[in-house]
Structure 1
Amino acid sequence: MSLPQASLCTVHLGYLLMLIDCLKQDGIDVDGLWGGDYLQTLGALDPNTRRPIEEWEALVEQAQPHSERDVALRMAEFVKPWDTGPIGFITMASHNLREAAEALAQFYNLLNDVYTLDAELVGERFEIAMRPLSAHISPSLERLTLATICWHARWLSRRADLHFDATFTFDMPAPSLTAALQKTFGGTLTFNAPRSCLLGPAEYETLPVSRGDHGVQETLRAQLMAEMASLQDTSTSFVHKVERIIKPRLETGEVNLDDIAAEAGVSVRTLQTRLEESGLNFRALLDRMRHAQVLLYMGDVDISLIDMAHMLGFATQSSFHHAFKRWTGMTPGQYRKQRLRAGISNRATAR
């Protein structure tokens, strides 16, 4: 098998290597499928290499006839949190599933730049939603991502009985795959939906994570923040381009839609249209970036809650409190006290 040319949408090399390891464990002849030269080439690549999403999708498609189960769902069961490196370890070091989901959503693009993840309370349910960064839609990646989160939530909380509803953008698949999805998630399935989401009762988010050392969390966060900054600096995604423009402005609370569009070289209408193509709008993108930034500010005891509201561009303290409670289920004061009780501080990384 030859290596495809570079693509605008990429996945971490680990997606390909974990697929190969998964198939090997199931007794599938991967050398016969793809040839020893190709596998040797992959094995010799730098571990942080990015590969075109089409390459991973092609491997999945070629492997499917040789597997008794849906390959993406099988991978989801095979992959353990530590297999995703620092991202997995930071979820293991979280205090509860809400914190683990927030960390995954914040750093998900280190795994791929096909989708972003949003984690928030929606009414009485906790929702993790996938939003495309381009026109490329990958049903296999949607199944893999949501199923992996589902299995990891059970593993992290030691609760094998957790059931989730799931929505998918693709049409209802064949009965065998529908049955496999039902077995994986345990809840209601919806197809041909506006976006792919994992949904669970709000009380799931408070389930404690009892697997790791909470004290290493901010060390991992600092490492991942540096990796995210490096990735976004080189990304060709329009969403990442807008994020690069917003970020320095966000730190001073000076975010204006007209100014952002002008710096991006497009009209306000075009900016909104291109964001909508990725399932976003300017307000939603700004909201997501504020959420990520405030988690850094929370670890710096020298930044007051009033200063945070101002630095993030909120007009009033009450609007900041309302947004923060929507993001985390807690008030800013409650969240900071929880972090301080746990001895978590990220002063060095917040500056």
Structure 2
Amino acid sequence: MQNSVSVKLVQAILEAAAHCGLNADDILAALKLAPSCLEDVDGRISHEQFCALWQAITQRTDKSALALSPCGCIGLQMAVAAKPKTWDVLGYAMHSSANLGEAFERLVRYSRLRHTGAEFTFEVQGDVARITMAIPSTALPPNDAMGEWVGANFVLLSRQLTGLDLVPLQMGFQHSKPEDLSAYHHLFRSPLAFDQPVNEMRLDAAVIQRPLAQADPGLSSILDRHAEELLARLPQSESLLDSVNRLLSEGLRGGNPSLTAIAQQLGYAPRTLQRKLQEVGTSYHTLLDEMRRELSIYYLREAQIAVSEVAFLLGFSETSAFHRAFRRWMGVSPGEFRRSA
């Protein structure tokens, strides 16, 4: 079963987009979805449709002359405009938590209620607490607006839960650095990093132990049981190929994921993973090669980065090795492909 996203989250995103001046029906029409598809609040759309939703939002922001800020950071604006119901039962469970750390743990535990393939982690190392989200993709990296929405929600929700005007130690984003960072600086007021493996927020670890004003152990226990029941109703979200492709996509952003590393993350011995892939007619090296090809096409067409940087992001030790691989895939050099794109 493919990864899916809650209709309630889609509704919240479209409402926020409408608040920022975009036409929700127009966005749905671009996805070939009727407004009636949102009437089933327990329904879900595919991850691919969710990515297309953000792409449609981005395209309509670029084309519009609406009352948006000059920076065009629509994902940040939408997060600010979003209503509390965006988080649904997950939000209620987080609000009833004893402290921010416990709230983040619930976010990790119940995130599949919103998006079955989204990879959340929460960890504390020394004086730093770190909450992350990697957006799954079997081909293209997520767009800027989706990453902005994720990062902004991390910060805004933390401020709402604690009642403090929290300033992160650092914010990290999977997407590339925008030309205008004024909206980022205004909202986050912290150091920023782009082209990261995950979207992340880093906080002073002392902050996550502060009691939350709405902490309610009894209500928290009830909401936990309800959330667990909802999780149990969700179908299995990923096939083996989906899982391997997702991990390759995440690992290739500046790394070189090995068969052993991928197998370990999936709970298999390397030989077992290779055998399972052979059973479905492929191999680790074939999937790696295909993922590199797809990502290279995206980077060369869409990202304003040097060919040497593309080679690094795809895990090639030398630019010349990337040139040879790309010519094998496409029949032309990376430079020739970029000029003709």
Give the TM interval when normalised to the shorter protein: 0.5 to 0.7
Cα offset, 1:8, TM superposition? 4.0
Unmatched segments (≥5 aa) in structure 1: 1-6, 242-254, 279-351
Cα RMSD after superposing both structures? 3.7
1:163 Cα offset (Å): 3.4
Q: Name the counterpart of 2:98.
A: 95
Structure 2 residue matching 1:233: 3-state secondary structure: coil
Distance 1:107 1:264, change over 3 A: farther
Distance in 1, matches of 2:226 and 2:287, equals 31
Contact 1:91–1:104, Cα closer than 8 Å, also in 2: yes
- The Cα of 1:262 is off from its aligned counterpart by 6.6
Q: Does 1:138 align with 2:142?
A: yes
Match of 2:177 among 161, 172, 177: 172
Name the counterpart of 2:337: none
Q: Following the alignment from structure 1 to structure 2, what is the Cα–Cα distance between the partners of residues 219 and 264?
A: 43
Q: Are 1:77 and 2:71 counterparts?
A: no
Between 119-128 and 216-225, report the one with greater CA deviation.
Answer: 216-225
Instruction: Establish whether residue 19 from structure 1 lines up as the match of residue 22 from structure 2.
Output: no
**Residue aligned with 2:197, SS:** coil
1: CA distance, partners of 2:233 / 2:284: 24
Task: Give how far 1:236 is off.
Answer: 3.0
Q: Is the 8 A contact 1:150 1:164 kept in 2?
A: no
Asked if the contact 2:99/2:215 (under 8 Å) is kept, the reply is no
Does the 8 Å contact 2:168/2:190 carry over to 1?
yes
The answer as to whether partners of 2:122 and 2:131 remain within 8 angstroms in 1 is yes
Matched, 1:159 2:156: no
Contact 2:3 2:237 in 1 (8 A): no
Residues in 1 aligned to 2:27 and 2:135: alpha-carbon distance in whole angstroms: 30
Q: How many angstroms apart in 2 are the aligned matches of 1:40 and 1:163?
A: 38
The residue type paired with residue 101 of structure 2 is R
Aligned to 2:194: 191
Aligned-partner SS, 1:113: coil
| Native 8 Å contact 1:18 1:75 kept in 2 | no
Residue 174 (structure 1) shift = 1.7
Question: Which residue number in structure 2 is paired with residue 295 of structure 1?
Answer: none
| Structure 1: 4+ residue segments shifted above 6 A | 270-275
Match of 2:152 among 124, 147, 152: 147
Aligned to 1:286: none
- What is the aligned counterpart of 1:53 among 38, 45, 50? 50
TM normalised by structure 2 equals 0.63
CA distance in 2, matches of 1:30, 1:228: 29
1:147-296 to structure 2, matched below 5 A, reads: 147-175=152-180, 178-231=181-234, 233-236=236-239, 257-258=268-269, 261=272, 265=276
CA distance in 1 between partners of 2:136 and 2:27 (Å) = 31
Q: Identity, % of aligned pairs?
A: 17
The answer to which of 195-204 and 73-82 deviates more is: 73-82
> Does the 8 Å CA contact 1:10/1:50 hold for their aligned counterparts?
yes
State the alpha-carbon separation in 1 of the partners of residues 34 and 179 from structure 2: 31
SS of corresponding position for 1:199: strand
Deviation at 1:95, TM superposition (A): 0.7
8 A Cα contact 1:165 1:199, kept in partner: yes
Shift, 1:38, TM fit: 5.1
Distance 1:24 1:212, change over 3 A: farther
SS at match of 2:234: helix
Aligned residues: 254
Which residue, out of 44, 64, 68, partners 2:39? 44
Length-normalised TM-score, structure 1: 0.61
SS at the partner of 1:85?
helix
Q: 2:176 touches 2:194 (CA, 8 Å); kept in 1?
A: yes
Of 164-173 and 11-20, more deviation after overlay is shown by: 11-20
Flag the 1:274–1:125 CA change in 2: closer, same or farther, 3 A: farther
Does the 8 Å CA contact 2:12/2:83 hold for their aligned counterparts?
no
